[in-house]
Amino acid sequence: MTLSYFLGCPLWQHPDWKSQLPQGNSALERYSQVLNCVEGNTTFYATPSRAQCRQWRSQVHDDFRFLFKFPREISHDQLLANTDAQVRAFLEILAPLEDVLGPFLLQLPAKFGPEHLGNLWRFVDALPAPLTCTVEVRHRDFFSKGEAEKALNRGLRERKIARVCLDSRALFAAAPDSETTRDAQRKKPRVPVHLLPVEAPPVIRYIGHPDLETNRHYLAPWVERVGAWIEAGQRPFVFMHMPEKGGGLSLAGLWSALLSERVAQLDALRLEKTSRRWASSSACDLPYNTSLTSTAREQQCASSPLS
């Protein structure tokens, strides 16, 4: 499967996807016939073996991309300080996947603040070429449009590193009327949507409303934004999450159908069966006045507050 952009989920297998994906010899092979990238959450919690990496490489096509997270002890426990030996060991294990590695997802915890930016710059500057990363921050100072955010954005722009844009507004617009939704709302960050124009493929992580159809409303501005990027020759990474993990594939299918209406040369995903198992009876009745189509200036990020 070839797309003019990258579309994926935070995992490549779920029991509920068996009826939606084509046949294949493994869950990853079946997934990669429909989607062309994946968030590598598995490496945040445990490092695979080199043999496992070779097996994964044999199961995906050349245009597939893994966006692995660095192990938790590197990004969260040590806050990127004094991690050279650990990083070298980690990259050595992933070597069989080198030609299908996208940018690493460097997801930083809320305790990683402005005082730790020096750690970030030393860390990314030490990554061996051609490896790179995309950075997701959660500390509130990096969303305040003050000196901390300016310093972050300036450093990323100088290094041509994308700032991950996390959009959790749809999730937090949902009524907390199920344990799954409440759990997602406890765990996912509720931060403003900040986009940073930079010479690197944009990375979007969208956290959906538990009612599948309600997401049409929240995806609409992203359809316009991503469509414009594709038409301009960019190849962004777009990841679809749902409060119930198994719903991510259906959300990706909905997103793909909407984007194919916006970009003529794109075909919608061909899922074997569209599942509505994750739809809930709750509907979003909150106002949604935020536009994501504001012009991105060279020295500032286009941002919008939460609904």
**Tens digit of each residue's pLDDT (9 = 90 or more) over 158-216:** 999 999 999 999 999 999 999 999 999 999 999 999 999 999 999 999 999 999 999 99
Band the pLDDT of 285: cuts 50, 70, 90: very low
- As a whole number of Å, the CA-based R_g of the chain is 19
pLDDT per position as a tens digit, 236-281 = 999 999 999 999 999 999 999 999 999 988 989 988 765 545 443 3
Q: What is the pLDDT of residue 274?
A: 54
Q: What is the pLDDT of residue 273?
A: 63
Band the pLDDT of 283: cuts 50, 70, 90: very low
Block residue for tokens 């009524």: 175
Computed over every residue of the chain, the mean pLDDT equals 89
Residue 133's SS3 state is strand
Contacts of 250 (CB under 8 A, 6+ apart): 20, 212, 242, 271, 274, 275, 276, 277, 278
| Cα distance between residue 101 and residue 132, in whole Å | 9
What is the arithmetic mean of pLDDT over 17-25? Answer: 93
Q: What is the pLDDT of residue 2?
A: 66
Q: What is the pLDDT of residue 94?
A: 98
| Cα distance between residue 124 and residue 131, in whole Å | 9
- Distances in Å between the Cα of 233 and the Cα atoms of 4, 10, 80, 163, 293 are 9, 25, 33, 19, 18
Tally of CB atoms within 10 A around 198: 19
Residue 36's SS3 state is coil
Query: Torsion angle, CA of 12/17/21/26, rounded to 10 degrees?
Result: 50
